[in-house]
Amino acid sequence: MGAMAGQIQIQNDPRGAMVEFGRSSEYWRSRLRALGFSGAYTLAFEAAPVSEASIGNVGLRPGTNGAVDFVVTPAGGFAFMVAEDALDRFLVRHVEGRSSNRFTRGLVRCVFTPARSLARLLAAEPPWRRPGRPL
């Protein structure tokens, strides 16, 4: 959930959507913005007026909603996003360069970058679509 929320922020960020995994400060700034958005998304999901806690599933009773929810989701999501970016750059692009089969290319994109694919679906776009990279 943390990675998917971060990917929503990235795909809506004109500066971060096209940046590729690497050591550049632009890449890391965009991913840290996504981490911040993921943290805000988690807070809203867990403790906002209309949230998981307000409808009585979690957090209604003291002790059922812990700091783990607010730390692990964004931090784990951040790690998952960076891992997906690395897989996209080094594995997915490698397969795309060797295959002309559109089905294979789309499937590899969806399987190895699931949070990005889910964020695309939530934006009512095909899950295999990537900005600047036709299938």
Q: Name which residue leads in pLDDT, 82 or 62.
A: 82
Q: Is the dihedral of CA 49, 52, 53, 55 positive or negative?
A: positive
> Looking at residue 79, what is its pLDDT?
97
What tokens does 10 get?
A: 């990235």
| pLDDT classification of 120: cutoffs 50, 70, 90 | very high
Question: How many Cβ atoms are within 10 Å of 63's Cβ, its own excluded?
Answer: 6
Give pTM, 2 decimals: 0.86
Closest by Cα among 28, 46, 94 to 6: 28
